[in-house]
Amino acid sequence: MRLEFVKMHGIGNDFVVIDDLDEGLDLDPTAVEWICDRHFGVGADGLIVVRRAMRADADLYMHFFNADGSLAEMCGNGIRCLVKHAVDTGIVPADATRVAVETLAGVKHVTFERDGAGRMTVATVDMGVPALAPEDVPVDLPGDMVYDCPLETPQGTVRITAVGMGNPHAVIWVDDVDSAPVDTVGPAVETHPAFPKRTNVEFAELVDDSRIRLRVWERGVGETLACGTGACATVVAAVLSCRTGRSATVELPGGELVVRWHEDDRVYMTGPATTVFSGAIDIAEE
């Protein structure tokens, strides 16, 4: 069968986006892994299937796969790409400035700005209330909150703060993000027995009280140029440790996101999304 797709990215975190508004598509995890392969497929950090919402309080549904074919609850950069695709192709009405997107982590409300041609330029996502209770992250460590907690890995002991942003995160503060052991400690923490659903791993360097440099080892993907939920989790961890105020700019290898942990306890993330190209790929029916 032939699949039409759009290649998009949110500050370098790239995705294959496929429309499935009639819900006729059932992709096997091995097909997703092949499509996301950078040598034999299209190449992407993840794959987004756009469907109609199943809930009455949402407009669209984001079915999101990691590059290894596993389902993920939520993706902050991916949801901005989905909304841009829906706005730019007319799935969202031309006079709309907001859309509600159903995800496996609940309904996320997105407001957006348009350029003169009606295309989306930047979006702010209401990422919801961060989960700090261990059972909600989830992480199997003692206490009411996993804050600056020692975790043993084959590379030595690291100290993590665990935050749930619809998906699990482990934030590690480092002195120099450029020399951080992302490719060794990252996979060790991702697959640590303390995280029953595995975890994303953030390596964060504080620049000042309103700016953070960040590298992320993403669950099921590896290191990526950006991670929206990771940026949000890191700002939450920064506020908890009094490193920043409730708003900070997060500098990732692919670009910047502005994250605010509002006084209403909800986290808001603002950033762009970009369409790169569209195409079609042939894939075996089986």
For the stretch 234-267, pLDDT in tens is 999 999 999 999 999 999 999 999 999 999 999 9
| CA–CA dist 18, 16 (Å, integer) | 7
Q: Is the pLDDT of residue 285 over 90?
A: no
Q: Is the pLDDT of residue 160 over 80?
A: yes
Residue 75 known to be catalytic: yes
pTM for this model (two decimals): 0.94
The pLDDT tens digits of the residues spanning 198-221 come to 999 999 999 999 999 999 999 999
Cβ atoms of 121 and 270 closer than 8 Å = no
Tokens of 188: 């060790």
Q: Is the pLDDT of residue 284 over 90?
A: no
Q: Among candidates 75, 77, 85, 28, which has minimal Cα distance to 51?
A: 85
Residue 227 known to be catalytic: yes
Q: Taking residues 113-136, what's their average pLDDT?
A: 98
Domains of the chain: 2-127+272-282 (3.10.310.10), 134-265 (3.10.310.10)
Residue 286: predicted pLDDT? 73
Q: Which of 36, 81, 149, 227 is catalytic?
A: 227
Higher-confidence residue of 140 and 286: namely 140
Q: Which of 36, 75, 81, 149 is catalytic?
A: 75
Q: Is the pLDDT of residue 65 over 80?
A: yes
| CA–CA dist 46, 10 (Å, integer) | 12
Q: What is the helix (H) or strand (E) element at residue 2, kind and residue range?
A: strand 2-10
Residue 59: predicted pLDDT? 98
Residues β-bridged to residue 277: 7
Q: Is the pLDDT of residue 165 over 90?
A: yes
Query: How much is the mean pLDDT over the chain?
Result: 97
